[in-house]
A and B are shown apart, each in its own frame.
Chain A
Amino acid sequence: MCAPYLLSGILDIGKTNYDEDESGDAKYLKKMAALIAVFLALLAVQTFALELFDLGYSGKMLAALAPTVPVFCMLVATVKNYREMDEFMQRVQGESLLWTINVICFLSFGYGMLEMVLGVVPPIGVIWILPAVCLGSGLMNFILMRRDHAE
């Protein structure tokens, strides 16, 4: 549980007066960009480690899970950002997430039904759930904001 605080501490190094005046959104975007950079770096380290070294079972497990640390920090950051939003933005974000989860659950349920009836369907890895939720939620957020603006 200390990882997010540790990383957030690292990211706050070199803070200037200007940074303290930054809006919550700007800080959030900066933090997310830094965490994505850490994620990509760990992904590269993971790839090289698995290619170049003969890691044991625990080593492979560690290498496989290393990139999930910044991802966990991103999830914590999104919750913190949600809490800092005003009530209207929370409503829009909540509705976006609800739509996304509903659509993903519906599609996976339909896919499961096909698998049950047809027997063989192309396998889809569970690794795609998180990117699907992130992209879907972002897309739904955009659609809902556009809808609210158009009305």
Chain B
Amino acid sequence: MQNKLRVLRAEKRWSQAELADRLGVSRQAVNAVETGRHAPSLTLAFSIADVFEKTIEDIFEPSSPP
């Protein structure tokens, strides 16, 4: 799964730690989601979308078209 987390975070000028604080997860978790090593659960995906005031589809997209 691909995501625009790094770009969105850069736009807000947040560090990974700052975003992790807002999401209530570890910095390692943010890093893992950003780099695509961890596909977030629906709960975390909704939290991420909520923090950036976007929809899940705006942030995440499947690697290959369905």
Interface residues of A (CB under 8 A from B): 85-89, 91-92, 145, 148-149, 151
Contacts and interface: CB of A to CB of B under 8 A. Distances in A.
B29 A86 contact: yes
Interface range for B: 10 to 19
Contacts of A86: 24-26, 29, 44
Contacts of B31: 148-149
Interface of B: 24-26, 28-29, 31-33, 35, 37-38, 40-41, 44
Contact of B29 (A88, A149, A151): A88
B29 to A, nearest CB: 4
B28 A88 contact: yes
Contacts, number: 33
B35 A88 contact: no
B15 to A, nearest CB: 16
Contacts of B25: 86-88
Contacts of B44: 86-87
10 contacts: A86-B24, A86-B29, A87-B40, A88-B26, A88-B33, A88-B38, A148-B31, A148-B32, A148-B37, A151-B37
B48 to A, nearest CB: 12
B26 A89 contact: yes
